[in-house]
């Protein structure tokens, strides 16, 4: 593990929610950790490929990252209003993906699923 990778991992540990590469880079600069923005992007992609971080795309396509809470393959429920995110296991989705791939003679299917809605807190605030 390089010093830069360790610094990015420590920055992710400080984040409770998803953060952009630019936000993490800014945090590293504020903490006087010398990691270039390009390196932050590269390391986050590597960590995502290794299944160590979750990646969500915002409406404008920007990637947001956070440490995975579970090591198993999972999906996300995301609040459209506050961005609260819950990791969920979805065995029915896994079976469906495998079946669709098989029906079309594909192998090794990979997928991501994000379900967007309103969390209970945001619904309560909007109801007031």
Bridge partners of 55, per DSSP, are: 65
Domain CATH code at residue 13? 1.10.10.10
SS (H, E, C) 5-66: HHHHHHHHHHCCCCECHHHHHHHHHHCCCCCCHHHHHHHHHHHHHCCCEEEEECCCCCEEEE
Tokens coding 10 = 């420590």
CA angle 52, 56, 57 (to 5 degrees): 140
Alpha-carbon distance of 29 to 36, in angstroms, equals 9
Domain CATH code at residue 86? 3.30.1490.190
Alpha-carbon distance of 52 to 33, in angstroms, equals 21
- 74 and 62 belong to one structural domain: no
Query: What separation in angstroms does the CA of 12 have from each of 43, 58, 82?
Result: 12, 18, 19
Q: Domain count of the chain?
A: 2
- 46 and 80 belong to one structural domain: no
pLDDT digits (tens, 9 = 90+) for 55-113: 888 767 788 898 877 677 888 888 888 878 888 888 899 899 999 999 999 999 888 88
Q: What pLDDT is stored for residue 14 in this prediction?
A: 85
What percentage of the chain's residues is helix, strand, coil (to nearest 5)? Answer: 45, 20, 40
pLDDT digits (tens, 9 = 90+) for 14-48: 887 789 999 999 999 999 998 999 999 999 999 98
Residue 122 has pLDDT above 90, yes or no: yes
Q: What pLDDT is stored for residue 121 in this prediction?
A: 94
């Amino acid at each position: 593990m390089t010093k830069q990778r360790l610094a990015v991992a420590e920055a992710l540990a400080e984040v409770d929610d998803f953060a952009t590469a630019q936000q993490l880079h800014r945090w590293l600069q504020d903490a006087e950790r010398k990691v270039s923005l390009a390196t932050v992007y590269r390391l986050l992609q590597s960590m995502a490929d290794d299944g160590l971080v979750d990646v969500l795309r915002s409406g404008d396509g920007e990637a947001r990252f956070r440490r995975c809470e579970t090591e198993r393959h999972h999906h996300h429920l995301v609040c459209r209003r506050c961005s609260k995110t819950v990791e969920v296991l979805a065995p029915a989705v896994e079976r469906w993906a495998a079946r669709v791939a098989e029906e079309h003679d594909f192998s090794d299917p990979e997928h991501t699923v994000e379900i967007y809605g309103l969390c209970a807190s945001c619904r309560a605030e909007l109801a007031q």
